[in-house]
Structure 1
Amino acid sequence: MIDSKKLIYLPGWIKLTIVSALTLCLFAAVYVSLSFVGVPDHSDWILLSLSLAQLAATALVISLILIFGEREANLHYLISKTEMLLLNNMPKTLRKIEDSHGQKLNVAVSAINNIFGANYHLENKNTKTKMWIGFNVDRIIVAYFLKTAESIETMQSIFQYTFGGAESVGYKVNFEHATIKSSGEQVISIWCTWPGMQDGINISTDLLNSPDKKLFIIQDIAMMTQSFIRTAERNSVNIYTDADPAPL
């Protein structure tokens, strides 16, 4: 079976030829139908030409949809979709997060950085934290920093339900000690990558152009972040660092 997405990459002259041939076929079929109207014993020709006109019209519409579908596959279009998701959709969803006291947080977002991500600063009177989120077409990365001298094992135990739940929907979660070179700040980086595998099915495919998949992942990141904040509050873990979280 031919993948319709590959058809939009045909050379322009082939696309023009296809559209021209279908248009010519459509007009020819309509002309033949009208020519035989009222002519005795030519009803079969009329039915045949009308069927051909219907077929040509359908094929022409499908061809035009695929050709104009090139916009969906355009590199600049995908970049703009990524920026819209990071700078508009994601902050709007993060603002729905509530801390342990039921209070929502203010969310500030940076410009695009580290190639395909942005930093987010979440804060209210009870708590504050930072995070970095990156969308690389079908791969998602979420990074949190902890300011603590505790061991990685201790932090993994404290946040086991937060990130255990994330792993159940396909995230791979890593904890790593790091020293911020510019300031010497000691942090634990929590690095979550989402390849989108669930029950053996890749649910990250065509993420940027699929509203339901996009809604799933941004709401899931918000839920994970809410759990991260509430768990930290319950266990008195400092989740605010001087450094902005970023890929290590």
Structure 2
Amino acid sequence: MTEAGGTPGVFDARHYTYLPAWAKGAVLAAATLLLFLAAVMIYRTLGRDDAGDNILFYLSLAQTGALALIFAIIILFSTRDANVHDLHRLGDQFLLNYVTDALKKVSVPALGIDRFDVRDLGRKDIYGRVLEMQSPKLDLRIWIGHNVRRLLVIYFVPLGEGDDVEKLEQHLAHTFEGSRIAGYTVGFEPARQGDQHFVSIWAKAETSTEFLYNPREKLFWAQDIAMMTQSFLRSVQRKQIPIACKLEPGPL
């Protein structure tokens, strides 16, 4: 398998899984024809005086055709991506194992926090989950979701009187400028639900379509989310920005 986001190599099986139907049919026809011709030639040489000169060649040809036919059926008609339930399971595994483990290692030295407990608050919206990071001095809820090839992370920050989005962006510039360099698109969106005014901070990044099948890519993005979250927490601590929001984060 190629590295995260890389283009599959010439001999990568993914090329052949997604061949058009006519190409798959042509490969199967060629393998079947090779096997058939080899069988015919073996039959025609049986009983002939010079059969020994050619029989081994025809047997090898038949074996090659049979193996080509078997591998063509296995590779060309692989349907691993057709199992939607399996894709959802792998998505939850990424959030509940990879991301959760990475978030546990986040630290905020200024508050004496060297790790967090992370609790799953369940699925929210179409494809994401809310994770809650807990410590004696600081808690944070995060919405994280992965949609086939797009990763989305959302934080909610409450807005008090006199606060504005531009000021919040300035305070968190260090954190999210680094995220942009790493490939995220970042947005600050003011919103209101009931009597709660807040800013939805979202960070979006593109992954490869093979993301859920690539442990190295999953580890990379999980640790990257944890690093971004750690920088976010350290920045709000330095700037004394309150982040205790009674609302669960999620897409607006």
TM over 0.5: yes
| TMscore range, shorter length | 0.7 to 0.9
Q: Is the 8 A contact 1:90 1:218 kept in 2?
A: yes
Q: What's the counterpart of residue 17 of structure 2?
A: 5
Give, as a single letter, the amino acid of the residue that structure 1 aligns with 2:143.
W
Q: Is 1:154 aligned to 2:167, yes or no? A: yes
Partner of 2:208: 204
Letter in 1 for 2:152: I
Structure 1 residue matching 2:131: 3-state secondary structure? strand
CA contact (8 A) 1:22 1:60 kept: no
Q: Which residue of 2 aligns with 1:200?
A: none
The corresponding residue for 2:203 is 192
Over 3 Å counting, the alpha-carbon distance change for 1:239 and 1:38 in structure 2 is farther
Residue 170 of structure 1 corresponds to 183
TM-score w.r.t. length of structure 1? 0.79
Q: State yes or no: 1:230 paired with 2:234.
A: yes
2:131 is matched with: 120
Answering whether residue 53 of structure 2 is matched by residue 43 of structure 1, we say: yes
In structure 1, the partner of 2:98 is 89
Q: Deviations over 1:2-22 (max 9, x none)?
A: 942324x859xx98xx59x75
CA contact under 8 A between 2:35 and 2:61: conserved in structure 1? no
Distance of 2:138 and 2:33 partners within structure 1 = 64
1:63 aligns with 2:67: no
- Aligned residue pair count: 232
Q: Secondary structure at the match of 2:122?
A: coil
Per-residue CA deviations over 1:4-41 (Å, capped at 9, x if unaligned) read 2324x859xx98xx59x759938x65x949x8699655
Q: In structure 1, what is the equivalent of residue 7 of structure 2?
A: none
Deviates more, 1:70-79 or 1:160-169: 70-79
Q: In structure 1, how many angstroms separate the alpha carbons of the residues matched to 2:34 and 2:50?
A: 26
**2:63: which partner in 1?**
53
Q: Distance in 2 between matches of 1:119 and 1:38?
A: 76
What stretches of structure 1 of length at least 5 have no aligned partner?
Answer: 197-202
**Corresponding position of 2:3:** none
Tell me if the contact between 2:32 and 2:65 (Cα under 8 Å) persists in the aligned partners: no
Quote the RMSD (CA, aligned, Å): 3.3
Distance in 2 separating the partners of 1:59 and 1:217: 39
Q: Can you give the 5+ residue segments of structure 2 that lack an aligned partner in the other structure?
A: 1-9
Query: What SS class does the counterpart of residue 213 from structure 2 fall into?
Result: coil
- 2:117 is matched with which residue? 106
